[in-house]
Amino acid sequence: MTVMQSKAVSPVAHLTAEDVEEIGRRLDAIRADVVAARGASDAAYIRRVIDVQRKLELSSRGVLLFSLFPPAWFVGTVGLSVAKILENMEIGHNVMHGQWDWMRDPKIHSTTWEWDNASPSEQWKHSHNELHHTYTNVIGRDNDLGYGIMRVDEDQRWYPIYLAQPLWNFLNACFFEYGIAAYDLELGKNLRSKKRRQSPEFKARTRQVLKKIRSQVTKDYVVHPLLSGPSFLHTLGANATANLVRNLWTHSVIMCGHFPEGVQTFERHSIDGETRGEWYLRQMLGSANISGGRAMHIMTGNLSYQIEHHLFPDLPSNRYQEIAPQVQGIFEEYGLTYTTGPLPKQVASAWSKVIRLALPNR
């Protein structure tokens, strides 16, 4: 096996190479079954979610035209917050993964969708779909793991700067859409080198991000407040609050997917010569789920089934709950830990790890 964690006790030491490849074959079979079964009911689901989200956003923005009145401000802000979360999580994230490309609907397609976020979709698809999902939890290659600003494993060398990582993480959560845009630009790597800073490609990508940010700011902080007339400041505050709520929620959900205790990280060299079965195994060990009801799953974009999502990122999100028992059964059969728990527990676990790794090893 090439997938191996630098831990005192490896969670995969009991598996043979044949076991790993059999896990891969069984997961391939689950995927093939879903691909064969997807159809009209799946298409109706995503179209219904998009319809609900757009009506909720439109009605909430309409109510906020009268946000001078506290009840209107509260109702409109809550509705807009939910609409933004739905658009980013269950719709935007999953559409851009290509989960609905099989419908051949140009309006719901990964090549045409632009989401309500500061990060341009093209750049996000590169950093997320191509890099994060390929190098899941591989230290030094998966920038989603700590976003390049945090220590994420005990084996990483500790520096005093890491004492501030709980603060960095909190600030990143509050301004998450802008943090993602900066991360997609690979600012840390590109700004360190004069050659990279001055490259035409980096400059073009920077202009693209700034253009998208300008569009988002104009929509939420200029046009909509101006339409509110005397409610200008109240509507501006409502939009800022809705964006903050969306940022905090999405950051929490994503933290729960890869950072709680029990989730494994991998050395850079561990994926050299990685087989299909070993890639599957890394996704299984490097992800964690959130337990909850149907509303929770929809509001997380079904990333509450992060394990299933990382195994099958291009399957329709509404199918993850259906296949989760089969996936969990494979975990149990092969003696692997299926990491899951309610949202408060997973958030607390992730933050505990952030704080623990901010300190030097004992």
What is the Cα–Cα distance from 251 to 89, expressed in whole angstroms? 11
CA-nearest of 88, 96, 91, 79 to 216 is 88
Cα 340 to chain centroid, rounded: 16
Q: In whole angstroms, give the CA distance from residue 173 to residue 182.
A: 13
| pLDDT of res. 140 | 78
Nearest CA to 127 among 170, 182, 173, 204? 182
Q: How far is it, in rounded angstroms, from Cα 231 to Cα 64?
A: 8
Neighbours of 336 (CB within 10 A): 18
Judging by beta carbons within 10 Å of its beta carbon (0-12, 13-18, 19+), is residue 8 exposed, middle or buried?
exposed
Q: Count Cβ atoms below 10 Å from residue 331 Cβ, excluding itself.
A: 16
The Cα–Cα gap between 196 and 210 comes to: 18
Burial of 204 (0-12, 13-18, 19+ CB in 10 A): exposed
Q: 3-state SS of the chain: helix, strand, coil percent to 5?
A: 70, 0, 30
Quick one: tokens of 315? Answer: 């399957």
Q: What's residue 148's pLDDT? A: 67
Give the per-residue pLDDT at 297: 97
What predicted TM-score, i.e. pTM, was given to this entire model? 0.93
Q: Could you tell me which residues are beta bridge partners of residue 291?
A: 342
Name the residue type at position 286. G
Per-residue pLDDT of the chain (362 residues; tens, 9 = 90+): 344 445 667 899 999 999 999 999 999 999 999 999 999 999 999 999 999 999 999 999 999 999 999 999 999 999 999 999 999 999 999 999 999 999 999 999 999 999 999 999 999 999 999 989 999 988 877 777 766 678 888 888 899 999 999 999 999 999 999 999 988 888 877 787 888 888 899 999 999 999 999 999 999 999 999 999 999 999 999 999 999 999 999 999 999 999 999 999 888 888 888 999 999 999 999 999 999 999 999 999 999 999 999 999 999 999 999 999 999 999 999 999 999 999 999 999 999 999 999 999 87
**Eight-class DSSP state of 291:** B
- Residue 271: in which H helix or E strand, if any? none
